[in-house]
Amino acid sequence: MGNDAPSRRPPSRRTALTTLLTAGLGTALGTGLTGCTGASPSAGSGSTVTLRYFFWGDSGRAELINKCTAAFERAHPKIKVKSSFAAFDSFWPKLSTAAAGGNPPDVMHIDYAWIRTLGEHGVLADLNDRTGPGKEIDASTLVPSLRTAGMVEERRVALPLSHNSVSLMYDAEVWAAAGARAPTARMSWDTFMEQSLKVTRHSGRKQFGMDNPGQNYMGVELWMRQHGRQMWTEKGELGFGRGELARYFRTVDAYRADGALAGPDVVLESLPGYPITTKRAASYLEWDNQVGGRSALRGSKLSLGAVPGGTGRSGLYAKPGMLISAAAKSPYLSEAAQFINFMINDRQVAKILGTNIGMPPTTSQEGAAEVTDPAVLQVQTYEKQIASTLAATPPPPADGGASLNEYLRRVAEKLFYGRISADQAADLFFDQAQVVLA
């Protein structure tokens, strides 16, 4: 379901992706991609137009999406849709190459990490003029917490196709066997780590209570949000300070030193899997839609627990698992907008896709899918439980944010190996941020 980009990857893959995409976009700027949002020819004059549609996934997803495009074509006989797909890691180089050649697809799926980069480089159309009463796209139906998803400052460069949220995924049986209390939203991180340590001790350190959130941007973002900060501002700047990051690093490193959290050796030994799937950790932070896949890899059911905090702020928000955009260079922006509206609002789409790409993004599609998969029902239950605590989708990462997230992982690894201090780790991160975000 949705959000196919895992929260932790082997370092070379994310770095290579960033290099390929930004290099391609740099070339694309030279081909005049920006400013190509002129008038769109219309299929209404009697002619038929064909939209090129590019998404990521596998053959199973492609079969479902092709059923959606067929339904759209029946409802819009003058608009045809030619779809193509690629695996997640192959998708971005192919999109970059198409953009660099001045020939991007008319409609494409976009990951939340890339919408600012693509929007600021002029690859994505600003759909504000095509969104609203009497226009091609009805965004009034978006789930309230998703209404800012796809916005880059004042520009609407994407619409969410799905959403998911962070969860505290844990093996309830392992925790209970260790006499540890299950996580709750009212539990502070200190209290949670005391319970996590019980799991570590019960297993003789063969399985740690929790994977290390300090080696994952998700942990940093959640912590900052729980303490009244955010990862990124509307202007694409870091939303927290050097001292705040150093405090986070000190806190997490102390938990690791006590044994409540796994160390970097456990993380590396588990690659290309995860400590949770290799049974080296009994809990970790992860997008809720991954629970089925992680449970299958682990060989035992994982539960979705409330994320601890203790600050009065949950830190949770609705993250688009996927977004859908139109190319600024497309000659068929009106038709592209009609297709986007169909994908986010039509109940046929929700019935066909189920939760393959995540939870539906609009009230128009909620409840349309018949769900029998226990893992999906588990996610739906969790989403209902946290709905009242979800904040609006925050501003997207800056151009270069993905590479900075990778640098954060490498700095944290040095800290947890004892090679640098928390203050030095924060200094290194902010020095790199100055270069990347300049």
Instruction: Give the model's pLDDT for residue 82.
Output: 98
Sorted by where each starts, the structural domains of the chain and their CATH numbers stand as 11-164+319-388 (3.40.190.10), 166-316+400-436 (3.40.190.10)
Indicate whether 16 pLDDT > 60: no
Contact present, 374 and 145 (Cβ < 8 Å): no
Q: Give the amino acid at 270.
A: S
9 pLDDT band (50/70/90 cuts)?
very low
Full-model pTM: 0.84
Angle in degrees, CA 253, 258, 261, rounded to 5:
65
Q: Shortest CA distance to 187 belongs to which of 311, 304, 281?
A: 311
Span 301-349, pLDDT tens digits: 999 999 999 999 999 999 998 999 999 999 999 999 999 999 999 999 9
Q: Evaluate if residue 409 carries a pLDDT over 50.
A: yes
* % of the chain exceeding 70 in pLDDT: 89
Does pLDDT of 3 surpass 70? Answer: no
Whole-number Å distance between alpha carbons of 69 and 349: 9
CA dist 72 to 245, 258, 400, Å? 48, 57, 36
Q: What CA–CA distance (Å, rounded) separates 358 from 54?
A: 18
Confidence band, pLDDT 50/70/90 cuts, at residue 210: very high
Reported as a single tens digit per residue, the pLDDT across 143-173 is: 999 999 999 989 999 999 999 999 999 999 9
SS3 content of the chain, % helix, strand, coil (to 5): 45, 15, 40
The total number of residues shown for the chain amounts to 438
Q: Please report which helix (H) or strand (E) contains residue 212, including its range.
A: none
